[in-house]
Amino acid sequence: MCWKSLAIVILISLFSVGCNRDRVSGVTGPSGDQTPVNIPDSNLEGVIRETLMKPTGPIVVADLESITRITGRNRQLDTLSGMEYMRSLRKADFGENNIVDLSPLSGLTSLDTLVLDQNIISDFSPLGNLLSLKQLILSSNQITAINDIDADYSLRDLQLDGNAISDLSPLTGLTALLSLRLNDNEFTSIQPLSQLSQLQMLDISDNEVENFGSVATMPNLTELYISRTTTTDLQPLIGLRSLQILWASSNHIASLEPLRQLNGLQSLILYDNEITSLEPLSQFNQLLLLDISQNNITDLTPLAQMTTIPNLWADNIQIVSISALSSLSSLSGELALLLSNNAIVDLRPLAENAGLAGGDWIYLYNNLLSDSSLYYYIPRLLLRGVTVWR
C-alpha cells in the first residue's frame, strides 16, 4: 500500500473513532440532522417556533439541537415530548402548565436552570442525571418524596415550597446549596439540613417545626423565614451575625433576647407573637422594616435609642404613648408608620419630628386621638406633605 493510501485509511479511522467518541460522551451541539421531529403538543410547538423564529416548515433535529434557552410559561402545555433533542439546552422555564411527565428532559445534561413551578409533577426521578443543574424550581407541585435528589448535584438554588414533603433526609448531601425554599410542606424536623453550612437563604415557614436548632450550624445565613412554625424560642439564632432578614410572624415567641447581638438586621417581621419588650432591639440602627403588630407591647421607649427606623408597623399592640418616635431624627425617605388599633391620644411627638415629610405615610385608624391631635397636629403633618389616614 502506498503512503498516500495509508494516510487516507488512517484519517478515516481517526474520524470514525472521533464520531464514536462523540456519541459515547454525549457531546452536544447541532448535528446537521434534518430529520423532522413530531411535537405532539401544539402549544409546545408554538413555543419552539417562537424560540427558533421559524413560523412555518418542519422542525428538524438540528433545529432543536440549536436551542440553548426556552421559555414556555403559562402556555397550557401538557407534555414536553420532543424536547429530548434539545441537547444544548441550558435554561428552561415551563412554570404554570399542566406537565406531569419529565422523561423528555432526562438526557438534557447541559441544563443548569430548570423552572417547573405550578405544574402537576409528583415524580422528578427523570432529572436524576442532570448533574449540571444549579437552579431547580419545583414549587407548587404534587411532590411527596424527594428520594431522587442526588448528592452529586451542583445545585445552588432549590425551591420545593408548596408541596407535601414530610422527610428532608435526601437533602443532607447538597452541601453546595446557597438558597433553599421549603415553606408550605409537611415536615416537622429540619435536622437533616444541619450539614448545609453554606446556606445563605432558608425558608421553612408554614411547617410544624418547633425546634429549628439546626440553623445554628448555618453561619452564612442572611435570610431566614420561620413564620407559622409554632416555635417559641429564638435561641438558635444567637450566633447568626450575618442575618439581615428575619421573618418570624405568627408563632409563640415571647422574648427577643437572643436577637440582641444581631444588630445587622435590616428587616424584622414579628407580627402576631407574644412579645412584651423591645429592649433587646435598642441598638438596632440598620433596620429598614420592623413589624411588631399584634403583640403584647405597650412601651416603644427602646426605639428612642435608634437613630433611624424607616418603616414601623405597630398595629394592634395597645400602645398609648408614641413619645419615643419624636427622637428618631434621622427618619427620611418614604416612611410608613402603621399605628392603627391602639390607644394613642397625643400626636405631638410625630408633629415635632422634623424627619417626617412629603412621601411619608401614617396610619392611625381606631385610636383615641385628642382634639389637639385631630385639629392641630394632623394639619401640621399634612402641610409638610405627610399622608395621614385615620
Domains of the chain: residue spans and CATH: 32-142 (3.80.10.10), 320-390 (no CATH)
Per-residue DSSP letter, 323: G
Q: What's the mean pLDDT in 13-41?
A: 59
pLDDT for res 1: 40
pLDDT band at 166 (very low <50, low <70, confident <90, very high): very high
The whole-number average pLDDT for the span 68-81 is 98
- Tell me the pLDDT band of 329, cut-offs 50, 70 and 90: low
C-alpha cell at 279: 429592649
Q: What is the residue whose three cell numbers read 428538524?
A: 60
pLDDT of residue 119: 99
Q: What angle do CA 235, 241, 243 make, to 5 degrees?
A: 85
Q: Which residue has the cell 425558608?
A: 203
148: enclosing H helix or E strand: none
Percentage, residues of the chain above pLDDT 70: 91
Chain Cα centroid distance, residue 166: 20
Q: Say yes or no to pLDDT of 5 above 70.
A: no
Cα(290)–Cα(363) distance, integer angstroms: 15
Say if residue 70's pLDDT is above 70: yes
Predicted confidence (pLDDT) at residue 234 exceeds the cutoff of 80? yes
User: Which of the residue ranges 125-134, 145-154, 214-223, 292-301 would you say has the lowest mean pLDDT?
Assistant: 145-154
Radius of gyration in angstroms for the set of CA atoms belonging to the chain, rounded to a whole number: 29
Buried b / exposed e along 42-53 (16+ C-beta atoms within 10 A): ebbeebbbebee
What pairs with residue 362 in β-bridges? 337, 388
Q: Output the nine-digit C-alpha cell for 4.
A: 498516500
Whether residue 104 contacts residue 129, with contact meaning beta carbons closer than 8 Å, is answered with no
Query: Taking Cα atoms as reference points, which of 115, 123, 120, 119 lies closest to residue 158?
Result: 115
Q: Per-residue pLDDT for 16 more than 50?
A: no
Identify the band that residue 355 occupies on the pLDDT scale cut at 50, 70 and 90: confident
CA 310 to chain centroid: 23
DSSP 311: E
Grid coordinates given for 385: 406633605
> What is the C-alpha to C-alpha distance for residues 275 and 246, in angstroms, rounded to an integer?
15
Contact 50, 70 (CB under 8 A): no
pLDDT band of residue 30 (cuts 50, 70, 90) is low
Q: How far apart are CA 163 and CA 121, in angstroms?
A: 10
Helix (H) or strand (E) holding 3: helix 3-25
C-alpha dihedral (194, 198, 201, 206), degrees to nearest 10: -10
**DSSP label of 261:** T
**DSSP code of residue 296:** S
pLDDT at 153: 84
Query: What is the C-alpha separation between 176 and 128, in angstroms, rounded?
Result: 17
Mean pLDDT of 37-58: 98
Strand residue runs (E) in 10-164: 69-71, 91-93, 113-115, 135-137, 157-159
Q: Which helix (H) or strand (E) holds 77?
A: none
Quick one: 68 exposed, middle or buried, by C-beta within 10 A (0-12, 13-18, 19+)? middle
Given a cut of 80, whether residue 378 has pLDDT beyond it is yes
CA distance 277 to 281: 9
Q: The C-alpha cell of 312 is what?
A: 414601623
What is the dihedral sign for C-alpha 251, 253, 256, 257?
A: negative
